[in-house]
Amino acid sequence: MDSRKNISKFSIGTQLTMLGRNPDEQSGFVNPPLYKGSTVIYKTLEDIELKRNRFHYGTCGTPTIANLEDAWTQLTGAAGTVLSPSGLGSVALALWSLTKVGDHILMPDTIYRPSRVFCDGFLAKFGVQTSYYDPLIGYDIEALVKNNTTVIFMESPGSQTMEIQDIPAIVQVAKKYGIKTILDNTWATPIFFNAHAHGIDISVEAGTKYLGGHSDILLGLASANEECWPALRATYDAIAMLPGADDCILALRGLRTMHLRLKEAEKKAIELAAWLQKCPEIEKVLHPAFEGCPGHELWKRDFTGSSGLFSVILNKKYCKKSLSNMLDNMSVFSMGLSWGGFESLIVPFNCQSYRTATDWLETGYALRIQVGLEDINDLKHDLTLGFERLNREG
């Protein structure tokens, strides 16, 4: 951070232009330099014995990595941040930091599927039991708490189906029993939801998405409050699961425009979702900012904005052949599994086979839509042509 200024007095857009850089230490250059390396040189025997350098080896990080860590810590209001090579990596770091053999954790049934696979496979192998809960459970999650429950994990909105959780209620229950909380805050980012201010112990984020913003990096971030920061940092140091410095430089670049891109994605997504609500091909729109989306009132209460990701349910009359006609020939939208980049994406999903605590009762095909930075009229036109193909017989 630029040490010449107390930047907390500025608005978020201004802060993002200042975080993670200090021209006074960079020979006056605006952007921080790229540090890549493994070996760190010491001047004296005493220095190396006491490990006096901030970075005594490359696995401890570099000034480039530290710039991003420091920027994210200030943005989130955390005690500290560690990075990883992916969003899933940061989910793993957070869970490793707060669990041990014999523990029980609670995960929402709408969780990002790779996080579910990690819990059911890797954590289970090491004696950590996972139970899944209805994301709309709120205070009633208390009934699921066991004597060995150590973590309640949240993801709001839910992956694919967009349910908003009552985070303050769940945090209140967790604190009552001394349980730690983790939130996957990738959809909202710290710009639209302040996780630590809402009592979350560790907040994780896929920087691959809106922080990077250009679909060219893989990156995860985990920020912790004062109580959980030592455990998170110790886990990180033990594993040395750090990202590449090149990706951190790209993330710092993305940080400068993240607010602008988020606001643009929010505006376009709301306009497109409202347009889709009027299309006869659409049975339902699942967007947290819209009435009818599960948890919409909680979104209005707790969030300051929405991003460019939402889902729709097609009319149940359409068959797979019709869906293929639509999706195989899109001109602007592409089919891809990420989101948060500059390009618009559309992918079908069906969560019926892997939800265990809730039932997915929709019979129409579900589509997850990521709204990028293309012109909104081009997006509407591409979908209009897609719907024509969807309705085409044969």
Say whether both 113 and 164 belong to one domain.
yes
- Between the alpha carbon of residue 188 and those of residues 40, 43, 103, 262, 320, the distances in Å are 38, 46, 29, 9, 32
Contact by Cβ (8 Å): 277, 293: no
Assess if residue 270 is contained within a domain.
Answer: yes
Assess if residue 180 is contained within a domain.
Answer: yes
- Between the alpha carbon of residue 60 and those of residues 66, 220, 240, the distances in Å are 10, 16, 7
Say whether both 351 and 373 belong to one domain.
yes
Say whether both 20 and 158 belong to one domain.
yes
Say whether both 211 and 279 belong to one domain.
no
Assess if residue 173 is contained within a domain.
Answer: yes
| Per-residue pLDDT tens over the stretch 80-102 | 999 999 999 999 999 999 999 99
Rounded distance between C-alpha atoms, residue 310 and residue 289, angstroms: 10
- Between the alpha carbon of residue 355 and those of residues 83, 163, 164, 287, the distances in Å are 29, 14, 17, 20
Say whether both 250 and 281 belong to one domain.
no
| Per-residue pLDDT tens over the stretch 311-345 | 999 999 999 999 999 999 999 999 999 999 999 99
Say whether both 177 and 192 belong to one domain.
yes
Assess if residue 360 is contained within a domain.
Answer: yes
Is 144 in a helix, a strand, or coil? helix
Contact by Cβ (8 Å): 109, 159: no
Say whether both 215 and 198 belong to one domain.
yes
Q: What pLDDT sits at residue 1?
A: 45
Say whether both 250 and 353 belong to one domain.
no
Say whether both 147 and 65 belong to one domain.
yes
Residue 179 CA, distance from chain mean position: 22
Rounded distance between C-alpha atoms, residue 264 and residue 231, angstroms: 37
Q: What pLDDT sits at residue 21?
A: 87
Q: Nearest-5° angle of CA 126, CA 200, CA 307? A: 105
Say whether both 28 and 177 belong to one domain.
yes
Assess if residue 2 is contained within a domain.
Answer: no
Say whether both 147 and 188 belong to one domain.
yes
Rounded distance between C-alpha atoms, residue 242 and residue 252, angstroms: 16
Assess if residue 1 is contained within a domain.
Answer: no
Amino acid making up residue 173: V
Q: Which residues in the chain show pLDDT less than 70?
A: 1-5, 394
Domain boundary among 254, 279, 307: 254
Domain boundary among 209, 235, 254: 254
Domain boundary among 200, 223, 254: 254
Q: Write the CATH number for 288.
A: 3.90.1150.10
Q: Which residue range(s) make up the domain with 229? A: 7-254
Least Cα distance to 222 among 92, 97, 82, 96 occurs for 82
Kindly report whether the global pTM for this prediction surpasses the value 0.85.
yes
Assess if residue 181 is contained within a domain.
Answer: yes
Say whether both 228 and 264 belong to one domain.
no
Q: Write the CATH number for 161.
A: 3.40.640.10
Q: How many domains does the chain have?
A: 2
- Between the alpha carbon of residue 133 and those of residues 60, 188, 205, 207, the distances in Å are 37, 21, 21, 26
Rounded distance between C-alpha atoms, residue 316 and residue 386, angstroms: 16
Assess if residue 336 is contained within a domain.
Answer: yes
Q: Nearest-5° angle of CA 25, CA 26, CA 31? A: 125
